[in-house]
Every structure is written in C-alpha cells, then in structure tokens.
Chains A and B, each alone.
Chain A
Amino acid sequence: MLRTYRSPRYEYRTPPELHERANVRYPVVVVGAGPVGLVAAIDLAQSGTPVVLVDEDDTVSTGSRGICYAKRTLEILDRLGVGDDCIAKGVSWNVGRTFLGRDEVYSFDLQRQSGHKRPGMVNLQQYYLEEYLIRRALALQCLDLRFKSRVVGVAPEADGMVLKIQTPDGEYSLRASWLVAADGARSGIRRKLGLDIDGQVFPDRFLIADVTMKGTLPPERRFWFDPPFHRNKSVLLHRQADDVWRIDFQLDPEADADTEKKPDRVMRRIRAMFGDEREFELEWVSVYTFQSRRMPCFRHGRVVFVGDAAHQVSPFGARGANSGIQDADNLCWKLRLVLEGRAPEALLDTYSEERVLAADENIRHSNRSMDFIAPRPGAALTLRNAVLELARDHEFARPLVNSGRLSVPTILSESRLNTADGGAFAGAMVPGAPLDDAPVSVSGRAGWLLDHVQGRFTVLYYVDDEPADGDVQQAAMVQALAGAVVPLEVVPIARRGHPGAGASSVLEDSEGRFAERYDALHGTTYLVRPDQHACGRWRTFRPESLLAALARATCNAPATGSP
C-alpha cells in the first residue's frame, strides 16, 4: 500500500541452539526489535556486551506509526551512530501552532536558544528509524539479531531466565542472565509472567491518514480545535519524510473503524481540509485508541521492562517512543556495570525508580492534554471551551490551550544516585538533569559538547584562570581519580580563548555557552553519568568528593541512614 517505501525483508538464520545443540547462557537477551529493543541491544553490544535480540517478524514497522523523535532521543541516537541518518532523512522542526477555527491562538518553540547540535524534534516514519537501527545492529559483532523468532514461553531459573523460542525450524530454549522485555504494549513477556499494568482506557478514537502531497507549508506541527473542515473536533498535521503528511482526525467515540477507514471517506475529509485543487494520494490509514498506564515496577528479578511494555500514554506529546528510547538509555549502562561486577544489582532498581518517575511525568502531561483535547461532558468541557473562547482575545488564556506538551527528558532530581550540590549554583544543570548541549571546539575544530561526553562516567572540569596547562592538569586529575570503582574520563573545558584550549584533549567553550548553561566558574566540576545526566557538581575539583559521588551513582556507596 505504501508508495514511498518498500519494507526490507531480513534474513532468518537457523540459530546455533537448533543445529549445534548449544546451550550457552547469554548475558542479555532483548525481546522485541522495535525502536526501543533495537536501541537497548545496540547500546549494550557497542560497548562490548554480547546480546541476542529476538523478534517475531522479519521486517520493520507496518505504517509510519511513531513519527516524532525528540532532541534527547536524537542525542541518544547520535551515541548509537544513527543520529545523522535520522536528521538527513527526517523533517526537523521546532515550532508548533495551535488554531481555534482558523485563528492561531497559541504557539511554542521547542528550541528558544541556539547552540544545540540537534533540533527540538525530527519527524521520521518509524520504519526508517527501525531500518537505520537494524543496519547498525547487523554491523555489530556482539549483537545476534534473530528474526522470525517468537517467544512462546518464559520462566525464571537460577540467576537468569529461560525463553522458549519458536522459529520456522522448530523450538529451542534460549537462556539469559538478564532479559530485557521490549515487546510492546501487549507485551507477551508481561502477560506470561502474570504481571499487572494499570491505568486508564480512553474512549476516544482517532483516524490517522498519511498522504503524499507536494507541500508548501513550513515544517511545523499544526493543531486545530474546531476547524471549519472538521467541526467540534480536533485535527493534527505533521510533515514527514518523502513529502508524506500525517493527519490525525479526532472521531466520535462510537465511530466505526472500518467505515472511517474507507478511502472515499478519508479522501473527502482531506479535501475538505486542503481544498479540492490539491493533489494527494493516500499512503496509510489507521484508526486507533489508546491507554494510559504503567507497571508498578519495571524490574522483576532478572526481567527488565522497557518502552510500551512497561508504560503507555496517549500520543499527544510524542512521549511513547521517546520515553522508551530514554528507558533503554537509562538501563544499559547500569546493566553493563552489573554484568561486569562493578555495581550491585540494586543499581537496576534505580532504573525502575528513575523511569517510573519519568513514566508518571509523561502520563501526567499526556493525560492533561487529553483532558483538553477530548474533555468529558460537563464541567471539563465547559471549562475547556471557556479557555478556547477567551484565548482569541486574551493573552493569559493562550498558554492554557493544551494540544500536547511535547516530549522533553525528565529531570531525575529525586534520584538516589545524585549527590547534593557542593556549593551554590544557578541554572538548570541540577543533579539529575540531562546535559544541555553546547558548541565546543577541539584544536580549533568545531563540535558539540554531548559528542564528547558519552557512554562512560565523565568529569567535566572548567578552566578559566591563567596560566594553566590543560594537559598537565588533566594528567594530575586522572592520577587523583585512579582508585575509581568504575572507569572515569576527565574532560577539561576551557574558557574561549584560554591558552590551554589549544590542547587536543581540552574542549574550548567556543561560544561561552557552557559557562552560561552550567553556571561555570574556574574550577567548576560536574560528574556526568554514561547516559549524559549530571549527578553531582562542585565549585572546585575535589577527588574525594568525586569518588564518593561516583560510588553513590553506582550504588557502591556504603549504606547510610539518609542522603
């Protein structure tokens, strides 16, 4: 049905368990090769952890499905080597506009400041993201990607899990020390293990129509309340790659999916929207409903749940795939340290704690958007309509208009992995915050801060005073941190024009954005987690404080009464 895309078919190979009677136990098995499972498997494999990724299918997603990938997700995809592919193919955007009837009543800009490598959002059909991730996965030696492999059984064993896998060649047992369940909203692993997921089912139905159309509209998100072409309901428009446009029509809760999907009917809706002259072709049509729910805990013994398997939200806000990819980002470094014996299993409980907080934030924001987009009859509807009416003329009501609050990463300020500020700080880079990007240069070459701080614990140290020799300082720092429980990288960052900034191992704060965003003075030191979240900061470089914070961030600190 798709005119712009042909789904690749990937080769199924008989697994070694079936022809060699092998009975190895793998450190990690990931179930589900959607974006989240692929990200998890790639993250683990590219840092040297052998991983098996199984998927029941042998191709990418059918239909465009998840299309909005947020800045934080792009930063993670950069670390995995597919960020450039996504940016090159996708449609980058920052501005969203919300209309009442034909009039604009509210707009937002996801990137109010310049000096970030990635835009606020990129729109890209899910099948492209999966294709790029699969290409990357197939290039990794440590990653064994098995298509046409359906999980038909799962059971715990001592220090691990055993999966029963069904393939075209028959069934076999697959053993894993750790199982990552990325098998989606209807997670078979979750159901087979009898685990709960609780929340709210929305009665509302939405129609997705992807159409190909030569567009003249700017790359923006557009949302209408009560437009003339779809009275008393909402419509959402997104531009995707290949001149494909996504249109989301709110339907009546009692609408019949099969009737609504009939091409004539969909075409009529689209013509009403764009006018009769505009040429377009239908690419994909779907009617969907959704739920908003999460599991009480994302870790159950040797099984860890990520993405839709663990939590689901309404799509308004692009918080589904984005939060799932951020789950994987949070989990993988912890799993790696546990597997290496450098951190206790308790570190994996902090995966659940931190991502439950994030899931709750995502559920809260997306539920509020749903309360506004599809209010219940009665007071909620009256109040929503009052806001919309007042928003035409009065500035104060406009920010109340809620057509979706788009995905930004959760600030993990409550996390027990953080160390409280060692000094007075201003600015947004509190312990638990994902790092803000900043332009930097190395030996005169322009680059980005986040590309230099990834995949490992990093000490960021700001140099302002003169004289200072970056290399000598760095060597002394590395020496001072030699006893660290996990490998630690020291990255000095020097004021723009600082004499030490020429050294190849020193980043230059080329536009002064680092100093500004990190409230950095000479000696300011940040400890950064492998997932690019700050977990401690100080006004001077103090090795003993850093080592204590590192122990805390890896659950290696001796137990204390209170933080």
Chain B
Amino acid sequence: MMLELQPNFHEPGRQHRCAFPPGDDFFNLLLEAHRDLTVEQSAMVNARLILLLANHIGNLAVLREAMEIARDGR
C-alpha cells in the first residue's frame, strides 16, 4: 500500500455539493481541536493526534513515506 496523496476525505451518508470539498469539514474539525489552546497545548494535541493516526494506519512503509514528505515540506 502506498501513501494516499489524492483527495480522500469523505463521510458516509453525507452529500457534498461540488463547490464544498468534504475536506472543509476535516479542516474545521482540526481547527476546533486547537481552538483557544496555548502553543504548548497545541503542540501536544498535534503529537497525540499523530500517534493515534499513525497507529490506525499501522503500515510503516506508508508512515515512512508520509514522514519524508512532512519533513521536506513537499
């Protein structure tokens, strides 16, 4: 399995009109997770989130690929 780099956000049972990518809901969730937090608290939320999602993905090859892109920024 390769790292998914095509748009992949979705929510079963929910209709999205073409003008509003379902990723908007994701990004809003993410901002809400950080709302009103200090810089340190935000960093901790990010760290926990990465660990949770990394375990969910599980496949080290995929995680390695994601980490390389994240570190390079592209």
A residues touching B (Cβ–Cβ < 8 Å)?
Answer: 108, 110, 112, 365, 368, 371-372, 378-380, 383, 387, 389-390, 392-396, 398-400, 402, 405-406, 408, 428
CB-defined A-B contacts under 8 Å, sample of 9: A108-B19, A371-B28, A372-B27, A378-B37, A387-B27, A389-B74, A394-B74, A399-B7, A400-B26
Contact status B37-A396, CB under 8 Å? no
Contacts A112-B18, A400-B23, A406-B19; A395 near B30 (Cβ below 8 A): no
Smallest CB-CB A-B distances: 9 pairs:
A399-B21, A379-B34, A379-B42, A400-B23, A393-B74, A399-B23, A394-B5, A405-B20, A396-B7
Which residue of chain A lies nearest to B28 when distances are taken between CB atoms in the complex? A368
A266 CA / B31 CA spacing, docked (Å): 34
B23 touches A371 (CB 8 A): no
CB neighbours (8 Å) of B18 from chain A are 108, 112
Q: Within 8 Å CB of A394, what residues of B?
A: 5, 69, 74
Decide if A380 touches B74 in the complex (CB within 8 Å): no
Are the C-beta atoms of B27 and A378 separated by less than 8 Å?
Answer: no
Tell which of A110, A383, A392, A395 touches B74, judged by Cβ atoms closer than 8 Å: A392
Given contacts A368-B27, A378-B34, A402-B27, contact A396 B5 (CB under 8 A): yes
A389 to B72, CA, bound (A): 10
Instruction: Report yes or no: B24 in contact with A405, Cβ–Cβ below 8 A.
Output: yes
Contact A110 B19 (CB under 8 A): yes
Among B5, B15, B19, the most chain A Cβ lie within 10 Å of the Cβ of: B19
Contact residues in A for B27 (Cβ distance below 8 Å): 368, 371-372, 383, 387, 400, 402
Inter-chain contacts of A408 with B (CB < 8 A): 17, 19
Q: Which one of B6, B24, B34 has the highest number of Cβ atoms from chain A below 10 Å of its Cβ?
A: B24
Interface residues in B2-61 by Cβ distance below 8 A to A read: 4-9, 15, 17-21, 23-24, 26-28, 30-31, 34, 37, 39, 42, 45-46
Q: A372-B27, A399-B21 are in contact. List 7 more A-B contacts (CB 8 A).
A: A365-B24, A378-B42, A379-B37, A389-B73, A395-B6, A396-B4, A399-B7
Complex Cα gap A380–B21 (Å): 19
Chain A: CB-nearest residue to B22: A399
Report A-chain residues with C-beta under 8 Å of the C-beta of B37: 378-379
B9 surroundings in chain A (CB, below 8 A): 399
If over half of A's interface residues share one DSSP class (helix, strand or loop), that class is named, otherwise mixed; here it is helix
**B23 — which chain A residues lie within 8 A by C-beta?**
399-400
Q: Is the CB of B31 within 8 A of A383?
A: yes
- Bound-state CA distance A112–B19 (Å) is 10
**Contact, CB under 8 Å: A380 / B31:** yes
Question: Bound complex: CA of A163 vs CA of B39, how far in Å?
Answer: 54
Interface centre among B4, B6, B23, B39 (most CB of A within 10 A): B23
Nearest B residue to A395 via CB reads B6
Of A112, A371, A396, which is within 8 A of B8 by CB?
A396
Q: How far is the CA of A393 from the CA of B4 in the complex (A)?
A: 13
Q: Which residues of B sit under 8 angstroms from A399, Cβ to Cβ? A: 7, 9, 21, 23
Q: How far is the CA of A376 from the CA of B17 in the complex (A)?
A: 28
Closest to B38 in A: A378
**Which chain A residue lies CB-closest to B4?**
A396
Q: How far is the CB of B1 from the nearest CB of chain A, in Å?
A: 15
Please give, as numbers and ranges, the residues of chain A lying within 8 Å of B42 by CB-CB distance.
Answer: 378-379
In Å, the complex CA distance between A108 and B18 comes to 9
| Distance, CA A408 to CA B7, complexed state (A) | 22
CB neighbours (8 Å) of A396 from chain B are: 4-8
User: Most chain-B CB neighbours within 10 Å: which of A372, A383, A406, A408?
Assistant: A383
Please state if A398 and B7 are interface contacts (CB–CB under 8 Å).
Answer: yes
Whether B30 pairs with A378 at a CB distance below 8 angstroms is no
Please, how many angstroms separate the alpha-carbon atoms of A9 and B41 in the complex?
A: 59
Chain A contacts for B34, CB-based, 8 A: 378-380, 383
Assembled-state Cα–Cα distance A372/B24 (Å): 10
Contacts of A390 in B (CB 8 A): 69, 73-74
CA distance A510 to B59 in the complex (A): 53
> Residue of B at shortest CB range from A108?
B19
In the complex, A379→B47 CA distance in Å? 13
| CA–CA, A396 and B8, complex, Å | 7
In the complex, the answer to whether B30 meets A383 with C-beta atoms within 8 Å is: yes
Closest to A317 in B: B19
Q: How far is the CB of A69 from chain B (nearest CB, A)?
A: 16
**Are B24 and A395 in contact (CB-based, < 8 A)?**
no
Q: In chain B, what residue has the closest Cβ to A387?
A: B27
A398 to B5, CA, bound (A): 11
Q: Complex formed: what's the CA distance from A371 to B26 in Å?
A: 13
Closest to A393 in B: B74
Residues of B within 8 A of A110 (CB): 19
Complex: A368 Cα to B30 Cα, angstroms: 12
Of chain B, the residue at the smallest CB distance from A407 is B19
Q: B8 contacts which chain A residues (CB < 8 A)? A: 396
Contacts of B74 in A (CB 8 A): 389-390, 392-394
B20 touches A365 (CB 8 A): yes
Min CB distance B65 to A, Å, is 12
Q: How far is the CB of B39 from chain A (nearest CB, A)?
A: 6
A400 contacts B21, C-beta separation under 8 Å: yes
A95 to chain B, nearest CB (A): 12
Cα(A365)–Cα(B19), bound, Å: 11
The chain B residue with its CB closest to the CB of A389 is B73
List, in ascending order, chain A residues with CB within 8 A of B17's CB.
408
CA distance A428 to B21 in the complex (A): 17
Separation in Å of the A56 CB from the closest CB of chain B? Answer: 36
Give chain A residues whose Cβ lies under 8 Å from the Cβ of B6: 395-396
Q: Which residues of A contact B21 (CB under 8 A)?
A: 399-400
Rounded to whole angstroms, the CA-CA distance of A479 and B31 in the bound complex is 58
Give the residue among A372, A379, A393 with the most B Cβ atoms within 10 A: A379
